[in-house]
Chain A
Amino acid sequence: MSAVEAVPNPVVSWLRLFGSECRLVISRRRNIAGLGVLAAVPILIAVAVKIWGVGGGGPSFVDAITGNGLFVALAALAVELPLFLPLAVSWISGDAIAGEANLGTLRYLLTVPVGRTRLLTVKYASLIFFSLAATVLVALVGALIGSILFGTGPMILLSGDTIGFGATVVRLALVCCYLAAGFAALAAIGLFVSTLTEQPIGATVATVLINVGMFVLDTITQLDWLHPYLLTHWWMSFGDLLRSPIYTGDISRGLLTALAYAIIFWLAAWARFSSKDVTS
């Protein structure tokens, strides 16, 4: 008779699956292409400003680029916030379960066996990783191309103060973390929708529509009471991290809302996925 190899260490085996999942997301060619598009935006902004100068009245932070190249990162994040980054996150999260079901690999994953809860935690962790990676990628490319083309000087904050290079990098990192938290909450919505269907494209589109729907609701003044409960309402507040002292009011509301959305939708995904008959 046979004996299985080793008494399993749950942490080690979770990390091993997590590593495999992240590698899968990052190494897939079409995902690399998508990340390339995300990275192209800051390059485009930097080159455009370098060639044609600042026009005034453009997207936020673009005016400040000539003074400090690191503003390219912020400008790129502001530009990509409404569509590019949520689209990327919706794409990857919609693919999480529906993509595996579509390929048929879901049944082989479950019979390894990978418990359904374990699969959902690993998938969501990889989605958090991706949200952070995509945001940092945009910021990093922006900061690099900005430093190369415009050099870095002291940064003038929105509150009027001036801070040095090191502190600027820290603020930039905080902005990335804050935005990534918002995207991770969106990814939880995507993960839930992904458990409802076997068509990854359908899950992606539905998640994007939910995201756009939230943006739209946010503009309707009659629904003022609803606005604080919308995930996307707090995304643009990342500017508060660029004040001295950092204005934490909206930031903490934003993080709390993101956390609430993440928990609710992950639990919804878990409830749906745990009892689902896998016929794919």
Chain B
Amino acid sequence: MTGPAVQTRGLTKRFRHQLAVDDVDLEVPTGAVYGFLGPNGSGKTTTIRMLLGLIRPTAGVPTVLGEPIPERISHALPRVGSLVEGPAFHPYLSGRKNLQRLDAADPYASRRSAARRIDAALERVGLMPAADKTYRAYSLGMRQRLAIAAALLQPRDLLVLDEPTNGLDPQGTREVRHLVADLADDGATILISSHLLSEVEQICSHVGVMHAGKLLAQGTIEELRAQTAPTVRLETTDPAAAIKIMKELGLGRPHSERSGDHHLVVAALGKVETAKIVPALVADGVPVLGFAVATQSLEDVFVGLTGEGFDVSG
């Protein structure tokens, strides 16, 4: 299909006392693995619930797989698998029976192929050995896997996963990562909401950052890193001369800090060609003890956008 898998224009949600989502223009390109980031309380889950038709927006219309929600929700959601705010199942039913119930509720699922599809989904998440145990007896990791299995009962064009690796052991985390990669290769679009920035960095092609209800930044990972400038880090014994040269070259805001028995001069790279810096310094006699260009990690970008504080957004 052409057009983005998920698109919202001016999506807003106001609860009685709070503006939870403020004019969000989300855009998830088809086929992307989109990492949805934000501190607790930033409005990510509310946005996801609006995409799935669980909450009605105050303003704006979300569009999922080309269909507006909630007007055409019955056309869009059969092709969407989701995991929102943790797994939830009937504790007195087995894993398999829980999946049977969800399958029975799906108007597009044929009863004839139900057993085969349920087995395939259980197999894919590694839950076959425990399929007939009651859900009450499942560990958190098993519950999480069952929730992912439920999202895979039918072939999906879009998967919305809220913290899919929560509670999983390292083996399980790796399996989920491979699963996400497989599904993306099959052509599905994946929207992952996560706090694990290192994970997002590994598997996502696009990123969106929310804070206090606003979408602060959105784009491919490279675009996001480029937005927050890489820095030049020079170790030298003559910081004053180094700063003078850097200013001449056009590096932004050079400043120095003491670092052990020498100085560390840091400046923003800006548009300056990296290759020109060291020759310029050496030509002027500035001693170069160490030189590096550091791109910010996603964590730095994230914290830079959302602030250092530990408090939740609201």
Contacts and interface: CB of A to CB of B under 8 A. Distances in A.
Contacts of B52: 107, 110-111
Nearest to B102: A112
Contacts of A6: 108, 110
Contact of B155 (A4, A19, A114, A277): A4
B107 A107 contact: no
A4 B154 contact: yes
B89 A105 contact: yes
A112 B105 contact: yes
A278 interface: yes
A28 B93 CA distance: 9
A4 B74 CA distance: 13
> Chain B interface mostly helix, strand, loop or mixed?
loop
Interface residues of A, number: 32
Contact of B88 (A28, A105, A275, A279): A105
B121 interface: no
Interface string B99-120: 0111011111111010000000
A108 B102 contact: yes
B77 interface: yes
Contacts of B156: 2
A13 B186 CA distance: 28
A10 B108 CA distance: 10
A110 B107 CA distance: 12
B55 A279 contact: yes
Interface in B103-157: 104-111, 113, 150, 154-157
A17 B104 contact: yes
B78 interface: yes
A272 interface: no
Interface in B77-98: 77-80, 82, 84-86, 88-93
A160 interface: no
Given A107-B54, A113-B73, A16 B150 contact: no
Interface string A1-25: 1111110101001001101100010
Given A4-B108, A277-B55, A104 B86 contact: yes
Interface string B25-61: 0000000000000000000000001001111100000
B154 A5 contact: yes
Contacts of B105: 17, 20, 109, 112, 114
B188 to A, nearest CB: 8
A10 B107 contact: yes
Contact of A111 (B54, B111, B187): B54
Given A16-B104, A17-B105, A279-B49, A24 B90 contact: yes
13 contacts: A2-B79, A4-B79, A4-B108, A8-B107, A8-B108, A10-B107, A16-B104, A17-B104, A19-B104, A105-B89, A108-B84, A110-B53, A277-B56
Interface of A: 1-6, 8, 10, 13, 16-17, 19-20, 24, 28-29, 103-105, 107-115, 275, 277-279
